[in-house]
Amino acid sequence: MGSVSDSSKVSPVQSFGFEIPVECPLETVFAVYTDIKRWQNRNIFGEIRWVQGEPWEEGSRLRIETLTPLETAIDQVVQHFTPKESVSYLSHVLGITCETRVVFRGVPSGRTLIRVSMHLVGTLSRSLGFAIEPVIARSTRGFFEELAKECEWVFGSGSGLSSEPGQ
């Protein structure tokens, strides 16, 4: 098969995945992950808010503003949500659609394993001067590494968290 050089064509799907071990129980990890207020104006994020539907219900929409590496807005639509198990969503940013699946699994010794898989499709104007896909991959992995640190801090501090998904 030949490659397509016409930038107006849709690029092939690019995929990546990774696992992040977290040294605390599944309940803590899930509570921290779903607490969007915890992530506002922190790390790479600016404002994060639900713009349609009830939080974490299928079809609900979340708007996430990023501050770095690019100031932009990401629109996410929840496709699937099973508490303390998995979340799937579509994200739209800069002409790219990202399908993401996050699986949470409790493992022995009270630890948690997070598995993330992401598929990206779309085209982006070359006006940025660099490929956006590696930036998305690094930012996504960076978020989950920060999530692990935050969960371990919360668990170690004895902070009481609700196991209900956050607003």
Tens digit of each residue's pLDDT (9 = 90 or more) over 8-64: 444 456 889 999 999 999 999 999 999 999 988 887 889 999 999 999 999 999 999
- Contact by Cβ (8 Å): 61, 81: no
What is the DSSP annotation of 92-140? EETTEEEEEEEEEEEETTTEEEEEEEEEEEE---GGGSS-HHHHHHHHH
**Joined tokens for residue 28:** 């803590």
- pLDDT grade, residue 129 (50/70/90)? low
In angstroms, what CA-CA distances link 13 with 22, 51, 63, 100, 162? 29, 28, 24, 13, 37
Mean pLDDT of the chain: 84
**Joined tokens for residue 88:** 């799937």
68-86 mean pLDDT:
92
Compute the Cα dihedral for 82, 45, 27, 141 and give only its sign. positive
- Contact by Cβ (8 Å): 112, 105: yes
Q: Which residues contact 155 (CB under 8 A, 6 or more apart)?
A: 23, 24, 25, 28
pLDDT digits (tens, 9 = 90+) for 136-156: 888 889 999 999 999 999 998
At 43 the three-state DSSP class reads coil
Q: Is the pLDDT of residue 157 over 70?
A: yes
